[in-house]
Structure 1
Amino acid sequence: MSELSDLDALRRLMPPPTDGGTTVDWDAVAASWGKPFPPDYQHFMEVYGAGAVQNYLSIGRPEPKVPLGRAPRDGMVIETANAEADWETEGKTPELEDTSPALIVWGVAATADMLCWDASGDDPAKWPVLVYQRNDSLWSRYDCGMVEFLVRNFRADLPENPLGGTFLWDVSAVTFQPRD
């Protein structure tokens, strides 16, 4: 799918909140992380903002990368550090063996699953989604962007449910609660 058709599909499955949207200084975020964030995530933030999907998946506000001691608790920087630690010790699907991705967490599930980008590539529009599913202690790769991943998960259009809970799997109507 294309980025815009993915966002249209997401809007049909998960209507945007009337009070959604998060204002982000994308230049500052990109400068601190050393790379811009994917355009579909930027559009998601404009339309939905940070918040919770089905009160299960928390999609965090983009934040500048700062030293861990100065990072907001449970924010993108802290969760990315958690993901990096789990990457070193946990199992991986065969295509991820012997790889060293540049992880950036964009979502955390109530079952402690982490949803990340592999930000190794030069084009953020092509960064795949990596999921650490805590129940199976396993990392998996999905060759799609964040918005397409959500749509495909809602439609059960992935080989299997990538998350530890079924709250977002094969659902026809999804709620989003913004928070800032």
Structure 2
Amino acid sequence: MPSHPGAGDRADWAAVEAGWDTPFPSDFKKFMAEYGEGTIDDYLSVLLAEPQGGFGSDPLYMGMAEESQNASDLWRTESRKPRLIAWGLDSSADILCWRADGDDPDQWPIVVWSRSGGRWTEYQCGMAEFLCCVFRAEFDRCPLGDLSLWGAASPRFLHRDEQQRLRDSGIDPWTGEPDPYAGMFGD
């Protein structure tokens, strides 16, 4: 999955990790540097790592902290809830998280809340390996609520700024065609 010019986000990892009171997985840091916040094939959104509490200036922004709280609220178990940190969402309303237990973030498993199945499933891999396994259809079954990325030979990533630039120019970012709704709903 190649990145594109202008992709990638610079993060103040010291501030992010201090705010979350934990280090983040190294593959996620590398993903953020190469790709940044954006979407894969108009289906799976990867969240920007921000200091705990989010950006605060946009009350509609549902960032990593808010989605992590949503994930925690969905964890229905009588035993102690694990610490969940959401890193992705998909168009099927699934939430992709790390189960952030333990001192080594590179060992945190991925857990996926399946909105359609109403259950959590755990995968013993990191974020990058998880995505590769989805793209290569290497799990026993697709962990996401839709088969859009399952076995995707050439997944495409668009950084959030590139998506916005294309929309602002009247182009659908995923089809490359003129967007018939461009400009209809304000800025």
TM-score range, shorter chain: 0.7 to 0.9
2 CA distance for matches of 1:68 and 1:176?
23
Post-superposition offset of 1:98: 4.4
Post-superposition offset of 1:43: 0.1
Q: From 10, 33, 41, give the equivalent of 1:46.
A: 33
Contact 1:51 1:179 in 2 (8 A): yes
2:118 aligned with 1:137: yes
Query: What amino acid sits opposite 2:36 in the alignment?
Result: G
Q: Deviations over 1:32-90 (max 9, x none)?
A: 1110110000000000111000110010110111289878521101111110111137x
Q: Which has the larger radius of gyration?
A: 2
Aligned to 2:168: none
Contact 1:23 1:46 in 2 (8 A): yes
2 CA distance for matches of 1:83 and 1:51?
20
2:2 aligned with 1:15: yes
Q: CA RMSD in A?
A: 1.9
Aligned to 2:73: 85
Sequence identity of aligned pairs in percent?
44
Which has the larger displacement, 61-70 or 125-134?
A: 61-70
Change (3 A) 1:49 1:67: closer
1 CA distance for matches of 2:11 and 2:96?
20
Task: Extract structure 1 runs of 4+ deviating beyond 4 A.
Answer: 67-72
Contact 1:60 1:107 in 2 (8 A): yes
Please state whether the residue corresponding to 1:88 is helix, strand or coil.
coil
Which has the larger displacement, 70-79 or 149-158?
A: 70-79
Length, aligned pairs only: 160
Contact 1:68 1:77 in 2 (8 A): no
Aligned to 1:8: none
Q: From 29, 50, 72, give the equivalent of 1:63.
A: 50
Contact 1:132 1:139 in 2 (8 A): yes
Post-superposition offset of 1:100: 2.6
Contact 2:135 2:149 in 1 (8 A): yes
Structure ranking higher in helix proportion:
1
- Please list every run of 5 or more consecutive structure 1 residues that lacks an aligned counterpart in the other structure: 1-13, 90-96
TM-score w.r.t. the length of structure 1 is 0.83
Query: What amino acid sits opposite 2:31 in the alignment?
Result: F
Aligned to 1:29: 16
Aligned to 1:11: none
2:144 aligned with 1:163: yes
- Please list every run of 5 or more consecutive structure 2 residues that lacks an aligned counterpart in the other structure: 162-187
TM-score w.r.t. the length of structure 2 is 0.80
Contact 2:3 2:157 in 1 (8 A): yes
1 CA distance for matches of 2:31 and 2:55?
26
**More relative contact order in 1 or in 2 (CA 8 Å, sep 6+)?**
1
Change (3 A) 1:62 1:158: same
